[in-house]
Structure 1
Amino acid sequence: MWRVSVALLALLVLGMAWLVAFGDLFKPGSDLGYNLGLAGGLMMLSLLLYPLRKRVRALDRLGRMDSWFRYHMFMGMGGPLLILFHSTFRTGSMNGSIALYAMLLVALSGMVGRFVYRHIHNGLYGRALTLSELEAEFKARQESIGSVFSLQPDIEKRLKEFHQLAFAELHSTPRRFWRFMTLRHKGKKLSRSVRHDAKKILAAEAKKQNWPYAQLMLNYSLAKRHIDDYIYAIIRLAQLSSWVKLFSLWHVAHVPFIYLLVFSGIAHVVAVHLY
């Protein structure tokens, strides 16, 4: 239901965007267009409250950080959307075009940051993962996958080879980058292959011992979960430090984009009211 609701909302927004862009319903300078821009601008300006809440200790009593992050995410999507409707999806004056493109740059940067953030935190609004937590998780996965190893000796060998690939010391930056970009894909490919072999082995065992179909599916579901969890734990543990570095680099790039948006937005508002 949640996915259906989001899809319907997205279709509604796209339909409204089409009408505004091609239906000539209002102008950016009309009352409706002006108020849409004002509301969107204030929402974008309120995004600065989140970094203030993180850094100013006097604001610690003003709600939990996860609630502020939800607010930051909502305003980061709603503000640009209202400003796009305000502009009727067109660029006009030079200052307006600069402000619009700066806003889109910040919004795109925020989406990239959200993607990176997801890999170093528990859940959407969770706390940061630590290396010790991932190591403990990986150790637990190692213990639970022992039953899968017993199905076929080749399975253990392939999984250990993937573990060695993920943690091998590479002195070449291009090779490390290529491993980082392809490790998840290789893990999914290995997972499908191992699950396929495990399913065939379990099916043969079920036929030999005359298992009920429900027992066969239960055993396969358990094996599938152990395989997927083990490979995913390897990927998370191997890539954690890289995601942390990427998030730091993203933050360095994101802050100047925000300053550019603030200055261009102020210039646009001043130009609109003066001229």
Structure 2
Amino acid sequence: MAVAHARAFRIVLRISYLLLAAALTWLFVAGIDYYSLPLDQRPHHPDFRSLRPAGTVGHGLGIVGSLQILLLLLYSLRKRWRRLAGLGHIGRWLDAHIFLGVSGPLLVTLHTSFKVQGLVAVSYWSMMAVAISGVFGRYLYLQLPRNVLGEAMTLEQIQAQLAQTDQRLREQHGLDQRIMSALEAVTIAGGSLWRLPLNNMLLGMRLRGQLPAGASPAVLGDAKARVLLGRRILFHHRIQELFHYWHVIHKPFAFLMLIIM
């Protein structure tokens, strides 16, 4: 049942992104003539009454975008209020949080008709700083292994999981010490924290050169899990440190944005 719910959520999320992309593209293309005009010429455009920030379309975009930004607070509430722990996996809450964090600022950008001034500009650029830093935070989040509840595992828990994976590779899959040493070398060769996504994408190709010919998908899967866990142990302290600095940047901009809104 949990697997079915997770699959259904992913499908809904993908459809939501597709609909958002289609709607934004249509709105931008339909209003490009208006958006490209200087401010002093816009009142003479036939779409001025609808696309200006106080217009029917512009005002509606502002309401929907602002509502989505306010809904971002639900994720923080879900993380901190234990009574909400049973309302879905924390990872799905984060995915919804990211969708709202992408959709809201884009809708607000169209609401402003790409022109922000005065105090509104402070709120707008604070919002964009929150959105951009959120992408960085999502990357850091993905580098920390999590348990079935979506909670970040401690370094000791990751090391224990790595030891179990090593034991499974040796005892169940019969990998000898030479291959295990090769896997350790691949782990260490992961490069810097910022190159991890690319290196992890190429991991399958590298592992096929280290594992016995005809290795089963189960062996390849455990070997990949072993390398990824090892790399996350290597970068664990650095990731935690970056998370601290990320919160120092992300939260103040979020509060500033909400106060001015």
Q: Same fold (TM over 0.5)?
A: yes
Q: Determine if the alignment matches structure 1 residue 16 to structure 2 residue 26.
A: yes
Is the Cα–Cα contact under 8 Å of residues 147 and 153 in structure 2 kept in the other structure? no
Task: Return the match for 1:141 from 165, 173, 181.
Answer: 165
Which residue of the partner structure matches residue 116 of structure 1? Answer: 140
1:15 maps to a residue whose letter is T
Distance 1:263 1:144 in 2: 53
Which residue of the partner structure matches residue 258 of structure 1? Answer: 254
Higher mean alpha-carbon deviation, 122-131 vs 48-57, is at: 48-57
3-state SS of paired residue (1:145): helix
Distance 2:85 2:178 in 1: 56
Larger radius of gyration, structure 1 or 2?
1
Q: Determine if the alignment matches structure 1 residue 28 to structure 2 residue 38.
A: no
Distance 1:125 1:23 in 2: 49
Q: Give the structure-1-normalised TM-score.
A: 0.66
3-state SS of paired residue (1:105): helix
3-state SS of paired residue (1:226): helix
Q: Give the structure-2-normalised TM-score.
A: 0.69
Per-residue deviation, residues 103-132 of structure 1 (Å, max 9, x unmatched): 111111222222212222528971121222
Is the Cα–Cα contact under 8 Å of residues 69 and 125 in structure 1 kept in the other structure? no
Which residue of the partner structure matches residue 272 of structure 1? Answer: none
Q: Determine if the alignment matches structure 1 residue 192 to structure 2 residue 205.
A: yes
The alignment's C-alpha RMSD in Å is 3.7
Is the Cα–Cα contact under 8 Å of residues 134 and 233 in structure 1 kept in the other structure? yes
Distance 1:183 1:157 in 2: 20
1:155 maps to a residue whose letter is I
Distance 2:61 2:179 in 1: 59
3-state SS of paired residue (2:233): helix
Distance 1:32 1:193 in 2: 52
Gapped runs of 5+ residues in structure 2?
1-9, 35-46
Task: Return the match for 2:232 from 236, 240, 247.
Answer: 236
Which residue of the partner structure matches residue 65 of structure 2? Answer: 40
Distance 1:50 1:193 in 2: 38
For this pair of structures, how many residues does the alignment match? 232
Deviation at 1:260, TM superposition (A): 2.7
Deviation at 1:255, TM superposition (A): 1.7
Change (3 A) 1:61 1:10: closer
Q: Determine if the alignment matches structure 1 residue 155 to structure 2 residue 168.
A: no
Deviation at 1:220, TM superposition (A): 3.5
Change (3 A) 1:195 1:242: same
Which residue of the partner structure matches residue 212 of structure 1? Answer: none
3-state SS of paired residue (1:149): coil
1:257 maps to a residue whose letter is F
2:167 maps to a residue whose letter is E
Deviation at 1:250, TM superposition (A): 0.6
Q: Determine if the alignment matches structure 1 residue 248 to structure 2 residue 244.
A: yes
Deviation at 1:12, TM superposition (A): 0.7
Task: Return the match for 1:75 from 95, 100, 104.
Answer: 100
Change (3 A) 1:11 1:187: closer
